Amino acid sequence: MEAFFEKGDKVEIAKAKKAYRRQYQSQWKKNNRSISKEVTIKFAPDEFKEIHLESKRHQQKCAPFIKSCTIAYIRKTYIVPDSISINKILQLLKMMYIHVEDLVNEKGDGEFLLQAIRNLEHDIRLALLSPIDLEIAVKKYIEKNKSV
């Protein structure tokens, strides 16, 4: 490439840069394909509009949103629409637990209260981040109301 820079011909320099860039991108794609896989999906306009609106509601771009939805579906987990609010709720629960723990340590025996709060925090965390599967909920309801 130095030969092109010495001549000073702008056309030749531009061609050399373009060829170098093409070779670099080709090598990068080849290396990247061995590390991760890429999938291309086509959507109808109404499908894309729906996905786009939901991705904005979840404060994500479309591709990361589609990826997180796919992984969540496979793992049967829940995608939180407002993760900032959920994290704030979890932080407040933890602060409440620490505060009650301090009170118990000052006053004495309150292990039952601490265990109740631990259980409550665990249940809320599960409800917010991993809601119960509909099939499991129906089975539990049927079991609970067998006599009806």
Segment 85-144, tens digit of pLDDT = 777 877 887 887 787 777 777 776 677 777 777 787 777 777 777 666 767 777 877 787
- Note the pLDDT of residue 142: 79
Question: Are 90 and 71 within one domain?
Answer: no
pLDDT band at 27 (very low <50, low <70, confident <90, very high): very high
**Pair 125, 90: CB distance under 8 Å:** yes
Number of Cα atoms under 13 Å in the Cβ half of residue 106? 6
Distance of alpha carbon 65 from the chain centroid: 8
Question: Are 86 and 147 within one domain?
Answer: yes
Question: Are 26 and 57 within one domain?
Answer: no
In the listed set 51, 79, 107, which residue is the last one of a domain according to the structure?
79
pLDDT band at 63 (very low <50, low <70, confident <90, very high): very high
Question: Are 90 and 104 within one domain?
Answer: yes
**Whole-structure pTM value:** 0.50
Q: What is the mean pLDDT of the chain?
A: 81
Phi, psi of 15 (to 5 degrees): -65, -40
Structural domain containing residue 142? 81-148
Length of the chain: 148
Question: Are 127 and 75 within one domain?
Answer: no
Number of Cα atoms under 13 Å in the Cβ half of residue 54? 14
d(CA 29, CA 34): 9
Question: Are 102 and 118 within one domain?
Answer: yes
- Note the pLDDT of residue 45: 95
The tokens of 50 are what?
A: 């729906």
Question: Are 32 and 86 within one domain?
Answer: no
Question: Are 47 and 103 within one domain?
Answer: no
Average pLDDT over residues 78-82: 74
Average pLDDT over residues 24-51: 90
- Asked if pLDDT for residue 42 goes beyond 90, the answer is yes
Question: Are 108 and 133 within one domain?
Answer: yes
- Note the pLDDT of residue 5: 58
Number of domains in the chain: 3
d(CA 55, CA 69): 10
**Pair 95, 74: CB distance under 8 Å:** no
**Pair 97, 117: CB distance under 8 Å:** yes
